[in-house]
Amino acid sequence: MANIISRMESVQSPIIPVVGELIRNNPGTISLGQGVVSYTPPSEAIEFLLSFLSDSSNNLYKSVEGIPQLLAVIKEKLKSFNAIDINENNRIVVTAGSNMAFMNAVLAITSAGDEIILNAPYYFNHEMAIAIADCHTVVVETDENYHLKLNAIADAITSKTRAVVTISPNNPTGVVYSEAELREVNQLCEERGIYHISDETYEYFTYDGVKHISPASFFGNNKHTISLYSLSKAYGFASWRIGYMVIPEELFVSIKKIQDTILICPPVISQYAALGALQAKPEYLQHHLHEISQVRKLVMRSLEDLTGICQIANADGAFYFFLKVNTDIDAFSLVERLIKEYQVAVIPGNTFGMEEGCYLRVAYGALQQDTAKSGIERLVKGLQEIIN
């Protein structure tokens, strides 16, 4: 069987486990790598598990698209926070995280050989999902501040293009796209008869008065906009695996086929936890977002010491900074040295599609202020000594 070649051989290996192994082999390393938060789900999430356990029918399969109670709460959240109305033209589908939602979308709208446009730097799991679906990623460069280049996106659309993907707030750059940018992309997709896939995993993580915009809130775009959401970040829900998507009604049959085959239904116990989380008091999110904003300020101040060594674009969202390092050193080699010599871990930019030059993603969402201070000081010291 060794001569059989699978499509999986062309799919990049996820970088997080690779860096994780380096961290384990270098005890004491502070990770500025994986994009997670340090805090746990709200108490309401745990309390709602009792409701799950008290119903003996919950050991059975439930609706493919999610339990009705959770769908109702998500509908209200979408209306109040995202200005998205759920009506006869669109629908909510609960998924096992937003990665699954993206995979659902790709499989539903493509055939083998089709193309999907990603803006670089892109989220590596998006590129992997497209390859797994036997489709092709078309990479479009962003500008020097990692904002969208509409003309470049338009020029990249071909007869095989099925969607343009945007991520705002962005992973890996932390950039938040303006309403004008998102409207232009959304309108372009409508004009060309393709889908706009909007990944909004970091929707709550914006700073300094910057507002999150959901393209599905724009008037009259239900038929070509697919929106992806996650509880993993804002609600400390990473391992619970609950996300959801808002899709055009016409895609529902296809999405149900995919989800029923892969998952049957999202884990019901996690859906109950999500039902509780989404009804948590506003103070839960406010407190944790404030704490992360304070860590962000600390990181920003420390990164100022890298002037001349790195170019760092303004990042008004998520919990990342994306560094362009002025060096000929390969990004992964630099990451290895930072871990082994300075005990601080970051993620190399080539995994996000940045093959030319040396880029690093710095993640600060998982750290308390004291740990973040130590970690970023190690990073600054390491870069200063290695590059200089």
Q: What digits encode the pLDDT tens for the residues 173-226?
A: 999 999 999 999 999 999 999 999 999 999 999 999 999 999 999 988 889 999
Burial 48-70 (b: 16+ CB within 10 A, else e): beeebeeeeeeeeebbbbbbeeb
Q: Which CATH class is domain 7-41+282-387?
A: alpha beta
Q: Closest Cα partner for 114 from 129, 97, 99, 100?
A: 129
Q: Closest Cα partner for 103 from 126, 121, 81?
A: 126
For residue 329, give Cα distances in angstroms to 95, 199, 276, 337. Answer: 40, 32, 48, 11
Peptide bond into 267 cis (omega under 30): no
For residue 189, give Cα distances in angstroms to 46, 66, 145, 275, 307. Answer: 41, 29, 23, 33, 39
Q: Evaluate whether 7-41+282-387 and 43-277 have a shared fold.
A: no
- Which residues of the chain fall below pLDDT 70? 1-5
Say what the pLDDT of residue 2 is: 58
* CA atoms of 301 and 61, how far apart (whole Å): 51
Q: Where are the alpha helices (DSSP H) in 2-95?
A: 15-24, 43-54, 68-77
Count of CB atoms situated within 10 Å of the CB of 14: 13
Say what the pLDDT of residue 6 is: 80
The kind and range of the H/E element at 320 are: strand 320-325
Eight-class DSSP state of 61: -
Pairing outcome for strands 320-325 and 344-345: unpaired
Q: Closest Cα partner for 216 from 81, 51, 358?
A: 81
**Residues with Cβ < 8 Å from 193, sequence gap 6 or more?**
224
* CA atoms of 164 and 249, how far apart (whole Å): 19
**Residues with Cβ < 8 Å from 300, sequence gap 6 or more?**
321
Burial 321-342 (b: 16+ CB within 10 A, else e): bbbbbebeeebbebbbebbeeb
**Domain residue ranges of the chain, discontinuous segments joined by +:** 7-41+282-387, 43-277
Eight-class DSSP state of 24: H
Say what the pLDDT of residue 18 is: 86
* CA atoms of 178 and 88, how far apart (whole Å): 28
Say what the pLDDT of residue 261 is: 97
Q: Considering the entire predicted model, what is its pTM?
A: 0.95
* CA atoms of 110 and 195, how far apart (whole Å): 11
* CA atoms of 379 and 342, how far apart (whole Å): 7
Decide: 11 and 341 in contact? Cβ < 8 Å. no
CATH 3.40.50.150 fits 43-277, yes or no: no
